[in-house]
Amino acid sequence: MKAQQEVLGRFALAVGTIVWFSVFSAISGAASSEETAADQVQAASYEILAQHRINLGNRSIFYNLVSQPIFPERSRNQVSPPPLSPLEQEQSSPAEVQKDYLAVWIFADIYNHRISELYWGDSNQYRAFSNVDFNLMNGETIETTEAFYSLFVLPSNANISNEALNDFSSLGLLNLSYGGYLIDNSGEPPPPEDLEFLNAVHAYYDAHKPELLAKYRDQEEKRRARAAWLKANPPAPKDTVINFWPIKNSAYLETEPEGGAK
C-alpha cells in the first residue's frame, strides 16, 4: 500500500483531482452480450504519458499516467417506438394498478437443511424459524397482494447433531407436511406486510418444492464441478493495469480579472 501511495504521489504532477480506472483481465467465464465498463475503457482513446511497474513476482501492477481519455459514443439503437394509437393505448392500459418489483434480503442460519433461522429488517430486529430450507429460495420471485418480491438469501449452513436438531422439536415445525414458520415473539413483532410475505414464501415453496429441489441440486452439482476444475486447473495470475489522469478543478482555472485588464 505504501508503494502504491508513493507511485500516485510521483505521478500526480498536476494540481487537481486524480481520476482513475482499472483494467483487470478476466479469469474465466463467458463474455456478456451487453457492453461492459471494461469494454468502454479498453475502447477509449488515450496516450500513456508515464508508467510505473510494481513487480509482485508472479504478476505485476502497472500504473499509467494517461492523457484525458476520449470515450467512444455508444452506437446502440435507441430509436423510440412509434406512439400507440388511442385504441392501442386503451387495450394496453391495465385494468388494475401494476405491482412494484422489490428486493428483500434475509439472513438465514440453516441447520441440516431442515430448519432455517431467519433474520431481517433494518437492524435484523425480526426473527423467525422455518422448516423450509432457504437455500432453495434464493433468487426466487414471490408475489403478494402488494408487490413482486425478489428474495435474496444470505445463508449460513451448519450441520448439527440429531440431539441439537431435536431441540427444535418444541417449535412443532419438524413434523409438518407443509412449509411453516414461527415468529420469535421475544422481540419487536414484524409488520403485517412482512407476515404476508412470509406466508407467500411458504405457499410458493409448497407449490414448487420439486422444481426448487431440482434447481438447487443442479446448481450445487455445477458448483462442485467448477470448484474441482479450478483446483485441477488453477488460473494463472493476471497483471493489473491502472490508468489515471489529473483533472484541475475550477479553483485552478485561469480567469480574466475584472475590467478586462490583463
Residue 260: inside a domain, yes or no? no
Mean pLDDT computed over 180-187:
89
pLDDT (tens digit, 9 = 90+) per residue, 245-257? 887 766 666 655 5
| Enclosing domain of residue 10 | 2-27+36-69+239-249
- pTM of the predicted protein model: 0.58
Residue 262: inside a domain, yes or no? no
Instruction: Evaluate if residue 93 carries a pLDDT over 90.
Output: no
Instruction: Evaluate if residue 262 carries a pLDDT over 50.
Output: no
- In this structure, of 1-15, 91-105, 161-175, the range with the lowest mean pLDDT score is 1-15
Same domain, 54 and 128: no
Q: What is the rounded CA–CA span in Å between residue 186 and residue 171?
A: 14
Same domain, 220 and 243: no
Task: Count the Cβ atoms, other than its own, within 10 Å of residue 132.
Answer: 27
Query: E-assigned strands of 4-99?
Result: 17-24, 48-55, 60-66
pLDDT: which is higher, 85 or 123: 123
Same domain, 119 and 201: yes
Residue 197: inside a domain, yes or no? yes
In degrees and rounded to multiples of 5, residue 251 shows phi and psi of -65, -20
